[in-house]
Structure 1
Amino acid sequence: MDGLFDLDAVANATPRDGGLPAPGKRSRLRRESQLSLHQVADACDTGEETLLAWEQGTATPHGDGAAIYGHLLEALDARLNGTAAPQPSPRLMPDWAALGSLRHEIPTVAPDQAACRRCQQPTAQRVGGNPQHLGTRCPAPGTTPQSAVPAPPFTLTPHPTPGPPRFVPAPRLPHSTPATQHLLYPALAARRYSDGPLAVLDAADHILQAYLADGRTRPCPARDLPALLAWALSSPLGAVPIRAEGLPCGPLLVLTSTALAHLGLPTTAPAPAQRHPRSDHPLLQQIRAIGWQSDDEGLGPWMRLHPSNGDPACDSIHLALTSWGAVHRDAWNLSPDLAPAQLVAVLGQYAARLRTPIGPPGACGRRLMSDLRPPPHRHATTGALVAEGASGALTSVVAPACCEAPPGHQLAHQRAEQDALADTDVRWWRPPTPDETEYPHVLCFAVNLHHFADSNNIRVANAPARHVFHPDFDPKMPGSWLVDLSPLTLNPLLPPAFASSGLAWHTTPAVAYATLHGVRPQPVQAWLRPGPTGPYLNPWYRHLRLARVAVLEQLGLTDELDTGDLLAALANLPQADAVHRALLHALHATAHDAFTALAQPPTHPDQAGLATWPTPQHPTWRPDVRAAVTANARANLHRKLCRTSRDGLFPLAVAEDHILYATRTPDLAEITDVPHSGFKIGLSPGHVRPVAVRSMDWYRARCAEDSNAAELLKSACTSW
């Protein structure tokens, strides 16, 4: 424990009767001690989300975890009040090293006497683990200070928590010597960003070179990770807030395999146990020596490092390690053949048009949502208001309704299949009719940004759902409704409007679409989110759409092209500039994967292996919004299919955004140019583009295999 206590003289202190302080005091003690959430969580061997729930009173610690947390709070209280707390036993001792330099100021009482290091008189008091009287003066010889009397032992009845065994990280290795120099993060007002948001670092001939987003290069003198972090903070790297009411973004350092080797770091990703933020991985050992740590997610291809007494939200440096899987082996899918100058060009343009990359595109897209509607933010250590926030922001952690909870969530555990939301993407196919078998071609086309299109109109509430019975349907009310939409019957040559039959749970966009076809819904019950609602995704939609238009123009693709020229330009896209094509792919992945990120499972090492997990403590974790987007996209696609069927054209197969029709020619205009077609060739979200042409014999062979041909083409053909 970094020398805080003399472990040979530790008493077997047990938790104290009376439990923990009130939730408000727990947070106050941490803030007044100028400790971050991560530091206290690290000291208690738990996660930031769990600790935040303890502070807010929404969760209660049990067993040894409660005892360790109680001892830490008691020690902080003693330090602030100039008193002493009882020494805990080794089993219940917090990891004091996580508190940084504060660990040398913790006052405690030991069961035995030792000579004070100032006056040499016997004392049971300890300061930072050393025998010393409290206060600035020692008592007169022969007197016993009142505070030297040991406090009653700390007791708390343990309550074992049922469930699978929790992953226990490797114990932190003790430092042989205390850190001699801590790396401080500059104050917000002192930060400068003239070198851009990021740098790609690559080593050659024993020289570490930094490639900047504006095309410049500069040598980096760092030989280890602490020196690299110091270099990054001394350089004007980083990005201003996208909105003035939000937070700036710390610099991103992309490290190639040669850069990792130059810095003395492993070039291969660690095993799962070593990824834990409290493991003894060499990378973590290096940064602990300067008073830094990783965030709650620990180590990975993308990671966030920050001072132990800082705020991860605004005092961080982001790392992307290419040989660990970042950029080349994740959803970015950038070619490993890109030179460092090309790699920084892709990431730099992405940062200029959207935001600084901080993970895979889906994570960037989800973070962009809150960048454009930033919530107010107080510094995790000082409590100072560092971001005012904007109207319409999501500020509350909202638990999903039981029907909305994604698989793996605690609310979805042992839930019956029919009690989950029925709104899914269309995945459907049918055999061709006798007339269609006479057509020689089967044409596949795709809808541009299927889920992204029209997502700007989804209404979102910053409030939890309320359970009501027999409500009247309101198309402007976000929520989920238990309703029977089977009265809607359409042509059997069309896919069903809804993926359900009988009573089922549907989101508001799905039920609203049923009303357009004359259905008068009569919900049995619902989970509704009343109160102020609005199109939360609207600024995100506009920001991403404009970025995409700009990149398409760089590739020579504009709305001014006539249909023939546009189709020719799309066909030649694989031969276009590699950097611009990679950037376009990244933008599309951002728009698509951001919705998946709204409901992704937790990635914290303490929760990732759980059979069921609680609601992540992020206001933008909203599976209800993702479900509404999916239902809205399905309704829009079904509406276009219905409209096109008025000209006698019916789809053969559908797989989410890929659609197959039987045609006489291989020309997509045969579908888009009919009088009532719901589809239009173009570049905008919701427009369509050709993907592939196959023969009718090929399609019939897929039907004989009981395969959805649209799914096969969606997986096999690259459409952009």
Structure 2
Amino acid sequence: MTSQPDLFAAVDALLEQARPLPEPTERERLRTAAGLSRADVAKALGVSTSTVAGWETGRTDPAKERRAAYGRLLEGIAARYPAPVSPQASGPDDGGRGSSPQACAGQENGTGSDVQEQPAAASVASAAGSAPADTAGVPVAGVPAPVSRRRPAGRGAAAHRPAAAAAPVPAAPADAAFPGGPLAVLDGEGAAHLADGRILDCPAATVPDLVVWALDAGIGQSRLHRAGRDGDPLVVLTTDAAAKLGLPEHLADRRGLRLPEDHPVVREVMAAGWQLTRRGFGPWARIYRPVERGGRRQCVQLAVLPWDALDARAWGDTATLPAADIARVLGTYATRVLTPRGSTAVTGLELMTALRPPTRAVRTDSGGWASGPVPGSLTYPVDPAPPEAPDEHPVAQGRGEDQVLDEEAYEWVRDPELLSDAECALPFVVGLDVNAAFLAAANRLTVGLGEAVHTDGPRFDKKLPGCWYVDLSGVETDPRLPSPFTPHGRRPTGPAWYATPTLAYAQELGADVRPLEAWLRPDSGPYLDPWYERLRNAYMQTMADLGVVKGASGPEFLAAMERHKAADPAMAAVLSAIKATVKGGIGKLRERPQGAGYRPGERWPALERPTWRPDIRAAVIAQARTNMHRKMLRMAAAGLFPVAVLSDCVIYPAVGPSPLDVLPHDTAGKPLPGTFRLGVSPGMVKHEGTMPFWRCAELVDQGANPARHIKDADATDGGEAR
């Protein structure tokens, strides 16, 4: 029989659970009043910072095992810091404005008119957190009010440069778990510029101080998948900020791209108990402390602009913009794609993992938790099949030249002898460029998730990803078109290895596909679909910001494309970075070894990650190439044949300089089905450039591909995933 003390204890437990908690805004006020950060509360209660943020925004309430402890904490704080009395109306001496803490802080700091009053919801708190809207204008006992300020355009090292068009400042951070947004750009005057236009004071004088400041300032990004992890804070250092922190203007180690281990800043970081990843302190430095059991992740990434952290090939001149504009560019990219985690190639690969993490927590039979795979993800590293591997890989050693899977982008020029007199009489050649060709190819593409299995004499199945050894030399194709089976566009001469999309297209063309052997991956799925959707949405939204919208007519689209980059240079930089993310992300699937000390046949670090998958890269490129050939074939049915193809750019002889002079239409004026179509969506085309036909012929005579020069010198590279 249960004793009376046990019954009383059970009743007390019920009463604790039934005790109402304060309203969410009051929870935040109490924590702020006590000078506690969300991290402090999270550590005490054994939860994550984002969980505490959820309690304070009202998205969630504590579970019963945390509810009593959290309620007790809030009650204890409330006894010391009761709710403030509502402020009185403004007096006549202040011009109708209440004396806000922001304005007072501006006067005390001597900034005067430099300070613009912000709504309370838009103010960013110090490390303790944000003041809630219902206490706007009321100083919290014991906690100095933060300053959210804007500076005159004339201040700063880059003030002489024209600023990009200003973005509207939202009333409050979009991510409640990280009120500071995904990143901050630090100038040389101690101001941290946030993505939404706000500015925080950053008093850090050393790199360790800066790391602590970033962790306490609420900077970061919520996870994109429930089984993933939140994005670490990113702090971008301008040249002046880097110098103020003791960093050199240039890296002396141009090969290793890192500071020496005995550099004062590196020693300073280590002495403060922080660590660097194996890449050391380079342009993209990660500074962290190992996670203790039950503790929170402590990691901050620094991007050092004077060390070329932002590659101009992807970001244009973003690194030379004023700090506020850099924050806008990177913040927009972070919101639409992901907080940059290195180069755009690295970020493109990291985005795959962020959207489809390899593992998740699963319940065990005993009721505990263990790590289990996320369905549809790449869960563990796998070795490639021998034909799929690059030459350096251990499994590729000793293979013959005919045992290589050669799925690459097109580089083809038509034999001049096959040009007709009518084509040679035309005055122009016009280049058409496929929008985000590799991104379009990734859409609904089934790829292998697990290890490859070898089989002899298999029956071809277009639903099975892998590579197949087949003889396609007997398949007849029009010599005025590139072969769909080879990147050089010439007809195959015997058996070779092909990815599934290439053979599926051969079968579509009527070929009798009879593989001799194959390496197949029965465990498969559309792994890249979330990656495609996020990048497609980012691409389309950014194009819309630049005035290029879906559904425009051909002339409207061409006119919008003529002016889109000048419309907003900052958004043009975001667009460039999104494109580079697609290219680089696919390329990183087959990252090759680096460093002068590498020897062929040795393994290299990239092989140990689940996303090192050259077979997926090959499938995407094969799909993009066959997509392009399918449209060229439809154009040929209308009597139009290309002069040259380079990756996603194809050039045609034309009577006029516009794509409208090339693209075929039916009698109603609509584009012929299945041909290239002008438009903004991935897979549609835009105008790449025009040149006189004589110049095109001259380049061909010189052995050059005119598609490489149709826009300007080397404007079109040799492929998105080299």
TM norm structure 1: 0.68
- Is 1:200–2:191 an aligned residue pair? no
Residue 300 of structure 1, aligned match among 276, 282, 289:
282
Count of aligned positions:
520
| Deviation by residue 1:275-320 (Cα, 9 ceiling, x = unmatched) | 5799434443222112222223333211222114569995421111
Cα gap change, 1:230 to 1:313, in 2 (>3 Å): closer
Cα distance in 1, alignment partners of residues 333 and 423 from structure 2: 45
- Match of 1:547, SS state, is helix
Q: Does 2:651 correspond to 1:660?
A: yes
Cα distance in 2 for residues equivalent to 1:246 and 1:684: 29
Aligned-partner Cα distance in 2 for 1:556–1:249? 31
User: Structure 2 vs 1, CA of residues 543 and 225 (structure 1 numbering), >3 Å: closer, same or farther?
Assistant: same
Unaligned runs of 5+ in 1: 1-190, 379-383
In structure 1, C-alpha distance between the alignment counterparts of 2:630 and 2:485, rounded to whole Å: 12
Q: Does 2:451 match 1:451? A: no
Aligned-residue offset at 1:541: 0.8
Mark the CA change 1:273 to 1:655 in structure 2 (over 3 Å): closer, same or farther. Answer: closer
2:496 maps to: 504
Number of the residue aligned with 2:239: 257
Of residues 668, 675, 678 in structure 2, which corresponds to 1:681?
Answer: 678
CA distance in 1, matches of 2:279, 2:211: 19
Say yes or no: does 1:401 pair with 2:385. yes
- Aligned residue for 2:687, secondary structure, equals strand
Deviation (angstroms), 1:324 = 0.9
Cα distance, 1:576 vs structure 2: 1.3
1:429-461 Cα shifts (integer Å, max 9, x gaps): 122322211111111111111111131222123
Residues 358 and 380 of structure 2 are in contact (CA less than 8 Å); yes or no, is this contact kept in structure 1? no
Residue 653 of structure 1 deviates from its aligned partner by 0.5
- 2:607 alignment partner AA: P
Matched, 1:716 2:713: yes
Q: SS at the partner of 1:341?
A: helix
**489 and 281 in structure 1: CA distance in 2 versus 1, 3 angstrom threshold:** farther
Instruction: Return the alpha-carbon distance in structure 2 between the equivalents of residues 313 and 535 of structure 1.
Output: 33
Corresponding residue for residue 530 of structure 1: 522
Alignment of 1:501-580 (within 5 A): 501-531=493-523, 533-580=524-571
Aligned to 2:639: 648
Tell whether the 8 Å contact from 2:441 to 2:621 is kept in structure 1 after alignment: no
Partner of 1:625: 616
Across the aligned residues of Structure 1 and Structure 2, the Cα RMSD in angstroms comes to 2.7
User: Is structure 2 residue 367 aligned with structure 1 residue 376?
Assistant: no
Indicate the residue corresponding to 1:440 in structure 2. Answer: 427
Query: Secondary structure of 1:222's partner?
Result: coil
Aligned position for 1:361:
344
**Counterparts in 2 of 1:330 and 1:558: CA distance versus 1, 3 Å:** closer
> Does the 8 Å CA contact 1:274/1:281 hold for their aligned counterparts?
no
Aligned with 1:477 (options 460, 464, 476):
464
Match of 2:169 in 1: none
Structure 2 residue aligned with 1:349, among 325, 328, 332? 332
- Are 2:383 and 1:391 equivalent residues in the alignment? no
Matched letter for residue 340 of structure 2: P
Structure 1 residue 244, shift from structure 2 partner: 2.1
Partners of 2:351 and 2:438 lie apart in 1 by 17
Work out whether residues 375 and 389 of structure 1, in 8 Å CA contact, stay in contact via their aligned partners in 2.
Answer: yes
Tell me the distance in 2 between the aligned counterparts of 1:279 and 1:522.
Answer: 58
Superposed, 1:632-643 pairs within 5 Å as: 632-643=623-634
Amino acid across the alignment from 1:685: P
Tell me the distance in 2 between the aligned counterparts of 1:267 and 1:244.
40
The answer on whether the counterparts of 1:641 and 1:678 sit within 8 Å (CA) in structure 2 is yes
Aligned residue for 1:505, secondary structure, equals: strand
Alignment match, 2:128: none
Select 1:593's aligned residue among 566, 577, 584: 584
Between 448-457 and 633-642, report the one with greater CA deviation.
448-457
What residue number does 1:218 align with? 200
Deviations 1:307-364 (A, max 9, x none): 1456999542111111111114463333443111110000001111111111111211
Percent of pairs identical after alignment?
Answer: 36
Checking the alignment, whether the CA contact within 8 Å between 1:274 and 1:280 is kept in structure 2 is: no
- Cα distance 1:309–1:703, how it changes in 2: closer, same or farther (>3 A)? same
Residue 626 (structure 1) shift: 0.2
- CA apart distance, 1:714: 5.8
Q: In structure 2, what is the equivalent of residue 322 of structure 1?
A: 305
Q: Could you give the per-residue CA deviations for residues 348-381 of structure 1, whole angstroms, max 9, x where no partner exists?
A: 0111111111111121111111111122268xxx
Asked if structure 2 preserves the Cα contact closer than 8 Å seen for 1:468 and 1:527, the reply is yes
SS in 1 for 2:315: coil
**Contact 2:707 / 2:716 at 8 angstroms: preserved in 1?**
no
Corresponding residue SS for 1:199: strand
Supply the distance in 2 between the matched residues of 1:353 and 1:495 (Cα, whole angstroms): 37
The whole-number CA distance in structure 1 between the counterparts of 2:371 and 2:552 is 44
List per-residue Cα deviations over 1:199-245 (Å, max 9, x = no partner): 11110xxx322111111112211111111111111211111111222
The Cα offsets for residues 633-685 of structure 1, whole Å up to 9 and x where unpaired, read as 11111111111101111000000111111111222123323344611000011
Answer whether contact 1:427 1:656 (CA < 8 A) is retained. yes
2:400 to 416, 420, 423: 416
SS at match of 1:672: coil
Code of the residue aligned with 1:244 in structure 2: it is: R
Q: Is the 8 A contact 2:183 2:339 kept in 1?
A: yes
Alpha-carbon separation, structure 1, partners of 2:622 and 2:652: 23
- Residue 547 of structure 1 and its aligned partner are, at CA, apart by 1.5
CA distance in 2: counterparts of 1:315 and 1:484, whole angstroms: 55
2:440 and 2:683 in contact (8 A); partners too: yes
The answer (yes or no) to whether the contact 1:377–1:385 under 8 Å persists in 2 is no
Distance 1:332 1:196, change over 3 A: same
- Aligned AA for 2:679? G
| Distance in 1 of aligned mates of 2:588 and 2:227 | 24
- Answering whether residue 700 of structure 2 is matched by residue 703 of structure 1, we say yes
Task: Determine if contact 1:327/1:360 at 8 Å carries over to the other structure.
Answer: yes
Provide the secondary structure at the position in 2 that maps to 1:452. helix
Amino acid at match of 1:266: P
CA shift, 1:575, in A, is 1.7
Q: 1:644 to 1:274 in 2, by over 3 A?
A: closer
Alignment partners' CA distance in 1, 2:218 and 2:357:
24
The one-letter amino acid paired with 1:703 is V
What SS does structure 2 have at the residue aligned with 1:316? strand
Structure 2 stretches lacking a partner, 5+ long = 1-175, 362-367, 487-491, 667-671, 718-722
Equivalent position SS for 2:388: coil
Counterpart-to-counterpart distance in 2, 1:211 and 1:385 = 41
**Pair 1:395–1:632, CA change in 2 (3 A):** same
Contact 1:399 1:464 in 2 (8 A): yes
User: Which 10-residue stretch deviates more, 306-315 or 643-652?
Assistant: 306-315
Seen in structure 2, the aligned counterparts of structure 1 residues 408 and 537 have a Cα distance that, compared at 3 Å, is same
* Per-residue deviation, residues 31-69 of structure 1 (Å, max 9, x unmatched): xxxxxxxxxxxxxxxxxxxxxxxxxxxxxxxxxxxxxxx
